[in-house]
Chains A and B, each alone.
Chain A
Amino acid sequence: MSKDNKKQDVGTTGHEWDGIEELNNPLPRWWVWIFYATIVWGIWYTIAYPAWPMLKEATSGYLGYSTRQNVADEIAAVEAQNAEILAKLETTELAAIADDAELHQFAVNGGAAIFLANCSQCHGSGAAGATGYPNLLDDDWIWGGTIEEIAYTVEHGIRNEQSPDARWTEMPAFGEILPKEEISAVVQHLLAISGQEHDATQLALGEEVYLNNCAGCHGDAGEGIREMGAPQLNDAIWLYGGDEATLTETVMNARFGVMPAWGAEWQPAAGLTGAEVKAVSSYVHQLGGGE
């Protein structure tokens, strides 16, 4: 096989470095055409699309292409696509939303986004709450866990100055009303009815203090009264904590959790529309604790 012929066939370019010669194997001419074509393309591109930086902003490009406009168009397209089902959500009764699978899915998905934007700051992104901010996943509801009650709470909020219909009750600070030993006794009573370790010697006094001062709102057995927004006390769920020190502090100073009124009527700039209240209520209601 005549491998050596090659060098004689093609010759050299005449370039030589320290005895190393460069064979003349020219590139195909269409390669250089492609190179020129990319230059032409590059020039066209800077004319057709936003490219050259000017004093205030870059040239807008002959084709008027804008990623910002693309996003706006996509949002508008999705809104147009959802207009029908959104109108349906506005007119559907709260309790009837869950009966329509497609509508319910739409409400829950939209509600999840609204929840993350407006509610997660206090209630957590997973709706598990925090100390002083209720957990929305469990089966305990201070003001009620039906979808209507949830929607009312979202619309009007709790103990705020925005809505005249806000849910509003106040617990007295018993530190100014009751002597220390009675407070200590009623805390032992609370520990007992919630199934925790307690000092049995104080229970007789504790129950008497409880029935005289607390039962009016929290119920005789500590079952809680939702109309009063008075939490259930004989269960395992505590908003601020169920240990002796925290309970003593709560009885002494009282607690007033506040929630804004989210209805657009009460918050013209940042509030939620009727459909949005329904959506976020549907989302919260289906998290696992809804009644």
Chain B
Amino acid sequence: MSSSENPPSLYAAREPVFPRRVNGWFRNLKWVIMAVTLGIYYLTPWIRWDRGPEMPDQAILVDMAGRRFFFFWIEIWPHEFYFVAGLLIMAGLGLFLFTSALGRVWCGYACPQTVWTDLYILVERWIEGDRNARVRLWNAPWSFRKARLRLTKWIVWLLIGLATGGAWVFYFTDAPTLAVDLVQGTAHPIAYTTIAVLTATTFFFGGVAREQVCIYACPWPRIQAAMMDEDTITIGYREWRGEPRKHSDAVKAGEPMGDCVDCMACVNVCPMGIDIRDGQQMACITCGLCIDACDDIMAKLGKPRGLVDYLALKDEAAERAGQPTPALSKHIFRPRTILYTALWSAVGFALIFALFIRSDLDLTVAPERNPTFIVQSDGGIRNVYDIRLRNMSPDRRLVTFTLTPDSPLRITLEGYSGRTVEVAPDEMLHVRAYVTAASGTPPSVAERTDFRIWAEDQASKERTWEDTFFNGRGQ
């Protein structure tokens, strides 16, 4: 083991990143995706959807207090949480699919960290200027102008953060009502706290932490490596075409120069502050901005585009040898991606199927076990059942309980004279049912008799059922 007198520091300060403005196909794609994703996020809570007089009219609403999730015409109750589980599985499989086919497209285009950081950098550029101006301002001593620019930027960032946190709470309660309450100061403290926390995190992650979140905090970049292979489309530098670059020792020694003019355009536009020419690296989120920057330079030099480009690592050998390479789409369709697509579709179809066959009348029957049966004075046996009847429709309904077989067991309801109950719209009715078997009948003597409880809507004749059992004396 060797030792040195002055070991290097174990910690390094963050290198500030000043991404330069760039134009091009991928930059435009990112603008569109930013507009669409932020638009969906900020505007969705304001979409209205008429569900009738007694129901909320917000198209997408996560009603925690009422334990309901509304999505346009779909209403999910807590016992249907498997829909949410299914959507999460689809989201996971979707990420696997996109990562194995197209690498880190989620990171580069759709991740909230990327989208909001992009927006914050846009604001920074508007207020403080492009890369060179920002570097100068960073290095300049504090002055009135620097303070003014910094303050303006921070205020705009804060307002964006406020809008972000503000939009979040609108998903959980009626948005117009809450908006008025928020302004008047009468909203619930939890709403203000949530907005404050999300404002602070948005400001911090988008304005200050930025690429540090992707490199040090996020587990996803590290997991994704397991889903990528050499067919995965990712961003790379064609060093066999670019090298030796202009300022390299090889060129100085007289070797013919490659296509790379060492202009640093790809480095200067990178929001992660890396050099794509160093090869595949964990800090690269594959946002495509270096491709736009390099293509621009190549066009000016009259050289073909694509020195930095989306490519599959499998093609490297062929490209080096100057042989034709297959179209990128050939890399995308392979057993792995087809399997992910099949799994994703299977879960999706299962959810759609479940959505169509589900009934808006739901019955749960729980036999009382303490005691399992009660002897009546006439020798008859009575069992008690805890019944929960969920009316998942916007209408008030009359529901009648019947049994199969309808004899010799008889059903009565605690607190009701008949076998029909009224269930309010979007409500669960909790009722105790008594099922009796007269003395000497087979169910009263047998240990256990299976039967079925039906609940039938009087108006629509829609029926639902649950199988349960009757405990007798067992003699």
Contacts and interface: CB of A to CB of B under 8 A. Distances in A.
Interface of A: 1-3, 5-6, 9, 11, 13-17, 24, 26-32, 124-126, 128, 135, 137-140, 195, 232, 235-237, 286, 288
Contacts of A29: 11-14
A14 B11 CA distance: 15
A219 to B, nearest CB: 14
Contact of B1 (A5, A17, A30, A139): A17
Given A14-B2, A28-B212, A288 B374 contact: yes
Interface string B360-386: 000000001011001111110010100
Nearest to A286: B414
Contacts of A135: 374-375
Interface in B1-35: 1-4, 7-14
A128 to B, nearest CB: 4
Say what secondary structure dominates the interface of chain B. Answer: loop
B377 A140 contact: yes
Given A16-B2, A26-B8, A135-B374, 18 more contacts: A1-B280, A1-B316, A13-B7, A24-B8, A26-B9, A27-B12, A29-B11, A29-B14, A31-B11, A31-B216, A139-B376, A139-B377, A235-B377, A235-B378, A236-B377, A237-B377, A288-B382, A288-B414
B374 A128 contact: yes
B120 interface: no
A26 B7 CA distance: 12
Contact of A3 (B279, B368, B374, B377): B279
A138 B376 contact: yes
Interface residues of B, number: 39
Nearest to B412: A288
Interface of B: 1-4, 7-14, 212, 216, 236-237, 239, 243, 277-280, 316, 368, 370-371, 374-379, 382, 384, 414-415, 432, 434, 439
Given A138-B374, A139-B376, A288-B382, A28 B277 contact: no
Given A1-B239, A126-B368, A137-B371, A28 B7 contact: no
A30 B371 CA distance: 63
Contacts of B439: 236
14 contacts: A1-B239, A3-B280, A14-B3, A14-B4, A28-B212, A29-B14, A31-B216, A137-B374, A137-B382, A235-B377, A236-B377, A237-B375, A286-B415, A288-B382
Contacts of B243: 2
